[in-house]
Amino acid sequence: DIQMTQSPASLSASLGETVTIECRASEDIYSNLAWYQQKPGNSPQLLIYDANSLADGVPSRFSGSGSGTQYSLKINSLQSEDVASYFCQQYNNYPYTFGAGTKLELK
């Protein structure tokens, strides 16, 4: 199985700040990576697919980058509605695997 190592596990940031979440795969996943946002009590929602493509309706302050085994999600100008957990997921090989998640809170 491909292991997805996500960091940090938790993050505290101020409104307007830029935050970055990292995800490292145990082997090359050829940009077959998605990022999801999960607000408390809700199901995950797709943010980014193919490592850097923004899903429909997602604000442009979210962006994804990376290749090979290293990927990142950046949130520019943090808003209060961005408080959530964020997960990466690889879909290059079965079984699908997810990162353990990053819990983003406001400072």
Partner 1 sequence: QVTLKESGPGILQPSQTLSLTCSFSGFSLSTSGICVSWIRQPSGKGLEWLATICWEDSKGYNPSLKNRLTISKDTSNNQAFLKITSVDTADTAIYYCARTTEGILYYFDYWGQGVMVTVSS
**Binder among 32, 63, 72, 76 for partner 1 (CB under 8 A):** 32
Rounded to whole angstroms, the Cα distance separating 28 from 68 reads 5
What is d(CA 36, CA 43) in angstroms, rounded to the nearest whole number? Answer: 10
Peptide bond into 95 cis (omega under 30): yes
Q: Does the protein bind partner 1 through residue 95 (CB under 8 A)?
A: yes
Size of the site for partner 1 (CB under 8 A): 25
Question: In the complex, what is the shortest distance from the CB of residue 86 to partner 1, in angstroms, rounded to a whole number?
Answer: 11
Minimum CB separation from partner 1 for residue 107, in Å? 22
Provide, rounded to whole angstroms, the least separation between the CB of residue 49 and partner 1. Answer: 4
